[in-house]
Amino acid sequence: MAKPSPSPLEQRRPLSPHLQIYKWSPTMTASIAHRFTGAALYAGTLLLAFYLFAAAGDARSFHFASALFSSWLGQLVLLGYTFVLMLHVMGGLRHAIWDAGKGFEPKARDRLSLGSFAGAAVLTALLWIVSFVIR
Amino acid sequence: MTQKSTFRTPAARVKYLGAAHSGAHHAWMMRLSTFALLPLTCAFILIVLSLTGRDFQSARVFLGSPVVAIFMLLFVGVGAYHMTQGMQVIIEDYVHGERIKPLALMANILFGLLIGAALIYAVMRLSFT
């Protein structure tokens, strides 16, 4: 048996390998993106609260929020928000498929992961085309 | 079942709640809120699309209409719950400090309650003023 090391317990504990050790894979990318988009939507609720409170206020506050969201920066943020929301929804669907025990084969799981990004991009583009047509 | 050496009591095994004392409750509630949010997010997108180009009065009338308000209430309510539960997992994964971890978990729940209450208040205000 090895002699006990004099260093504190924290330093002797084996560490599990972290991100930089692994070869980048589609499932890993999709997993990280799902967590990242979840956190982004967490912060994004502040945007929704801002808009709803502006609308629940008077005409002045509504126009202020409308002008902000109509500016190029506001539109860029909304475009990002749309993609992030769509990607997270795609992630939810992907997890539902995996929870059902389907789509775990090497090809299927990679296709589901990359498909989430493609699906989110297509849905975002569609929604923005619709929004430009009806505005 | 074969006799295995374990520190867990038979009662603990029967209750099936594990080390977290809540079993799969958290995971199950994440699934449940996910499935609720799929149609609710579709409703939210339709509502946002319907808001494009509306002036103040017409946006107010639209957001204050019963069907829109009910779907918005469900979306923000279930959404606030889902995001709080989700952020809890992120905190549990990355925040390990003895003091900072419970503080972060508490802050997360308080933020979820605050933003949830604020969003619900705003939606109701649009309906009732």
Contact A59 B52 (CB under 8 A): no
Contact B38 A99 (CB under 8 A): no
- Which among B52, B87, B126 is the nearest to A56, CB-wise? B126
B chain contacts of residue A124, beta-carbon cutoff 8 Å: none
In the predicted model, is pLDDT for residue B23 greater than 60? yes
Considering the domain boundaries, does residue B19 fall inside one? Answer: no
Pick the residue from chain A with its C-alpha nearest to B118.
A49
pLDDT of the residue at A20: 77
- Domains of chain A by residue range: 26-134
Task: Give the domain A26-134 fold.
Answer: 3 helical TM bundles of succinate and fumarate reductases (1.20.1300)
Considering the domain boundaries, does residue B79 fall inside one? Answer: yes
The CATH number for B112's domain is: 1.20.1300.10
Tell me how many domains chain B contains: 1
In the predicted model, is pLDDT for residue B105 greater than 60? yes
3-state secondary structure (DSSP) of residue A57: coil
Contact A55 B37 (CB under 8 A): no
Considering the domain boundaries, does residue B13 fall inside one? Answer: no
pLDDT tens column, A7-27: 676 667 777 777 778 888 999
Considering the domain boundaries, does residue B93 fall inside one? Answer: yes
3-state secondary structure (DSSP) of residue A7: coil
Whether residue A74 contacts residue A50, with contact meaning beta carbons closer than 8 Å, is answered with: no
pLDDT of the residue at A23: 86
Per the structure, the complete domain to which residue B59 belongs is given by: 24-128
Interface of B with A in 11-30 (CB under 8 A): none
In the predicted model, is pLDDT for residue B91 greater than 70? yes
In angstroms, the CA A95 to CA B109 distance is 24
Considering the domain boundaries, does residue B7 fall inside one? Answer: no
Helix axes A72-99, B25-51, angle to 10 degrees: 140
Residues A71-87, mean pLDDT to the nearest whole number? 97
pLDDT of the residue at B21: 79
pLDDT tens column, A25-67: 999 999 999 999 999 999 999 999 999 999 999 999 999 999 9
User: How far A120 CA sits from the closest chain B CA (Å)?
Assistant: 13
pTM, two decimal places: 0.88
Q: Which two tokens stand for residue B76?
A: 């923000």
- Which among A39, A63, A99 is the nearest to B31, CB-wise? A99
- Nearest CA among B101, B109, B107 for reference residue B26: B109
Considering the domain boundaries, does residue B16 fall inside one? Answer: no
Contact B83 A130 (CB under 8 A): no
Contact A42 B86 (CB under 8 A): yes
Angle at the Cα of A107 from the Cα atoms of A102 and A109, rounded to 5 degrees: 45
In angstroms, the CA A3 to CA B107 distance is 43
